[in-house]
Structure 1
Amino acid sequence: MNMWWLLPACAIVALFLTGALRQYALARSLIDVPNARSSHVVPTPRGGGVSIVVSFLVALMLSASMDAVTWPMTWALMGAGVGIAILGFLDDHGHIVARWRLLGHFIAAIWALYWLGGLPPLTFFGLVFDLGWIGHVLAAFYLVWLLNLYNFMDGIDGIASVEAICVCLGATLLYWLTGYGAFALLPLLLAFAVSGFLYWNFPVARIFMGDAGSGFLGITLGLLSLQAAFIAPQLLWSWLILLGVFIVDATWTLFRRLLRGEKVYEAHRSHAYQFASRQYKKHLPVTLTVGVVNLVWLLPIALLVGSGYLDGLLGVLIAYLPLALLAVKFKAGAKE
């Protein structure tokens, strides 16, 4: 059955639902008021990312009911996604202690890995390694880190949305070109859901994504990348390359803050993209640059890896080196 009609439907639902959520946030005074650690200067409603969650998960269930998506993958995405979105929604409405958030993140990751089957064998320079239970533990930490780094990187207008759209469209092209087009539906659905929200979030943003949306995107992208490893081992490396902008900035920043003994779960403005937005005094140039880097630099390398022309680990190193240099240039992790 043709499922492609779900794509515009997903975007339209997200578009109108975000508008409704904006009115809800204004009525309930769910407003991000600028402070010393903010990257915005105008009080702005938050929580609009719930529209991404609802539109994508409804489309996911419809796809599964029509056998376009497997039920194990559906339960993995549904359980983990709903859990993380609810946790983020509650945190958007009132602060939840960091240790309880982290516990919820690991529970969601373990649930998803149970349905997904853990971590499949990985390839390193042509050799296949099955890490067994160690791989499953690493996969859980990977999912928790990805959902948290996505939250960290959602700090200026449009950046988290543009990143998700670029990654998902890049993965879709990758699947089509490598003969795995049947798996392109999920990343496409997510891209269209995010595009409906982006209308409201594009600089200058009229509503923010909030923890519900950013955490949901992080763990969903993580699960899609692990699914790719089951399809073909080299595709996981391609996903890691596509996610490179966020992974490098967030990881570099975290490492430097840990070295200084700072509380890494506290809000800050020391990511490279935040320093860049202050330097250029606008969010738009930074957000657009993220999109350009994804499409011009990371996507071609991901395609080479996915097509077997370049080793996965080597491709990641090549892709990440300029990103690391940019992180240094823009003082990622430096004391504010």
Structure 2
Amino acid sequence: MIHVSDIKDLELLTIHKVGNGNNDEPLVLSQQPLELQDETIGTLLLSYFIQPFANMAEYFRFTHEADIQLNEVYKYCSLIFENKDNFQEQSVNIAKHLYKHSTHPKIKGGELYITHFSKCQVDGEEVEAIGIFKSETRDTYLKVFLNDENYQLNYDDGININKLDKGCLVFNIESEEGFKVSIVDSNSKQEAVYWKDAFLQVERRADSYHQTETMVDLCQQFIQKKLPEEFEMNRIDQIELLKKSATYFKEKEEFKMEEFAEEVLGHPDAVDAFREYRDHYRDEYKLDVPDEFEISNPAFKKGQKFFKSILKLDRNFHVYVHGNREMIERGYDEERSMNYYKLYFEEEK
């Protein structure tokens, strides 16, 4: 987990302007790092760059289909980590590389900030880091000022420092595996994949966060889609299994395939079906789904929303099922030709 409160100083900072070449926008490169004279600006920039990464626990790594050394951003960051005197030269190379991949007609030009931090706390380890940030969105701000004892209004164009469009922190750790990399991208549209896939060329690390996130999705899909296909199972039974799954992830420190199958699913046929589905899921999506791994609480909390315990009945009712499965019964009314649920309770609130 990244502790942003431990990042105190912008040790090195340079700014380049990266436009969209297909839209005839230029690449404008600074010749040297920026010297910040105003401490307040430094503090604002630090918050703008780093705060979006607060408490992140998901990491990526640089990759390349042939050789990691052929990944441009990996190579440029490695040279900076080797010698900070390389900072400005390699920041220019990073900007040129981004410009080369900013060709989709909907990609917006913007300022590219490249920084070097000497101390960052990552998973309890103090390391140096390189930050690559891009601002694409411009906002209009009203300015109120006093003129001849009367207040006047004007406006100006600027950057909203409460919203970072794109960001990347590269931590100088586990370099042979492609470093630890954390990413922010506020644009989820198709054209935005250029930041992660084309420019950075990163993939998720096969760590506990990724493994927990994958298994949460696998369990949810198995219970809601696969089980009803093979067994008679109504929505109440599905909700009960989703609740038991969520409890398992919440209370256990480690995921164990056999233990989960027996404690949550119980029935031998369902256990066999789950094992088969896990193997199919792993092969289809080419994901790392081991039998045992440490459960990541941040990953589970992120995926907890998928363990929904809501019965949606036409457009009339939403029933939230939190407790005893025996307190709700499903039936069919022959006279009305409609399904119904019967709820038992002791007190109405």
Could you tell me the TM-score, scaled by structure 1's length? Answer: 0.23
Higher percent of residues as helix: 1
Higher relative contact order (CA 8 A, sep 6+): 1
Higher percent of residues as strand: 2
Larger Rg: 2
Could you tell me the TM-score, scaled by structure 2's length? Answer: 0.23
